[in-house]
Amino acid sequence: MADLKGINLAMQTPFNENGEIEYGVFGELIDKFIDAGVHGLVLGAGTGQHPYLTEAECNRLYELGAKRIDGRCSLICQSSALNMDEVIRRSKHAESIGADAIMVLPPYFEGPSDDDGILRFYSEVNDAVGIDIVGYNIPQATGLSVSPDLFRRLSELSNFNFIKDSGGDFTTHQEYLQISGGVLNGCDTITVYALMAGVPGVIWGSANYMPKEAVELYEHVAAKRLDQGLALWAKMLPSLLYIWRAPYTPSVLKAAQWRGFGTGHVRKPLGPLSASQEKALRATLEHLDA
């Protein structure tokens, strides 16, 4: 079982102004994030605009990423797709280049929505690979909720050892923790409380613009320095609250650019922030830099 404790940064994919991947910047960012102390990197994350990357682009990013990381931190690769054969193909490729785990969305967009159908889907992925599977609960994006009962059934699969929970329902989050210790928080705005509740780690998009602070927060909670952790959290929270309600990925990437991480560009169909959105985002970041 992979060790995914700590800050698993849901890494951006850097683009130029034309939406082309900047592979050189990608490698430089990996070094910066590892130097900041992150415990893992998630390549092809939602923050990395996975839905708008081709399979070939993902494969190249993962290959380059695995070589650049070179065992310095954990490596999780998203292998989600709508087509079952493609999910298996992507998952096997991630395993072949040395990923510690794959992250796989349930069969969203008119796929099976019942528990048995979702279980069959993950069972097929489970039988195709020999590395850990990180399931993904993000009902606001997929329309599918992984209930605690379904999570219990999924946890019986040999490789389904983790779930990223981005739903934001802290009750469900704690119910998951009663079933398995492999719960990774993915909802930015409850991060400190999820860590206090006992999650071993997080998959965190906003860590793209505050990697050192994210690691520091984790270390404070792990060491039971809760007063210090909550003081840091108070500086982080204004930007997290804004980004969670604003266009998420464009906000994270713009904040990251301002703080020295990446190009700030998104790929279509995503678009840049408006001037008023940029102004509001900058105001929230003042708390972080205070």
What does the block give as tokens for 279? 């102004």
Beta bridge partners of 135: 163
Which of 134, 59, 16, 257 minimizes the C-alpha distance to 249? 257
Q: Where are the domains of the chain?
A: 6-225
**Within the chain, where are the H helices?**
23-35, 55-69, 84-96, 115-128, 139-142, 148-154, 170-179, 191-197, 211-222, 226-245, 248-258, 275-289
pLDDT reported for residue 108:
87
pLDDT reported for residue 118:
96
Residue 158's φ and ψ, nearest 5 degrees, are -65, -30
Beta bridge partners of 170: none
- The CATH number corresponding to 6-225 among 1.10.10.10, 3.20.20.70, 3.30.70.2750, 3.40.1010.10 equals 3.20.20.70
- Per-residue pLDDT tens digits of the chain, which is 290 residues long: 899 999 999 999 999 999 999 999 999 999 999 999 999 999 999 999 999 999 999 999 999 999 999 999 999 999 999 999 999 999 999 999 999 999 999 998 888 899 999 999 999 999 999 999 999 999 999 999 999 999 999 999 999 999 999 999 999 999 999 999 999 999 999 999 999 999 999 999 999 999 999 999 999 999 999 999 999 999 999 999 999 999 999 999 999 999 999 999 999 999 999 999 999 999 999 999 87
**Counting Cβ atoms within 10 Å, is residue 128 exposed (0-12), middle (13-18) or buried (19+)?**
middle
pLDDT reported for residue 289:
86
pLDDT reported for residue 111:
87
pTM: 0.97
pLDDT reported for residue 202:
98
* CB proximity list for 227: less than 8 A, separation 6 or greater: none
**For residue 210, what are the CA distances in angstroms to 140, 149, 197, 226, 258?**
25, 35, 22, 19, 11
pLDDT reported for residue 110:
84
pLDDT reported for residue 109:
84
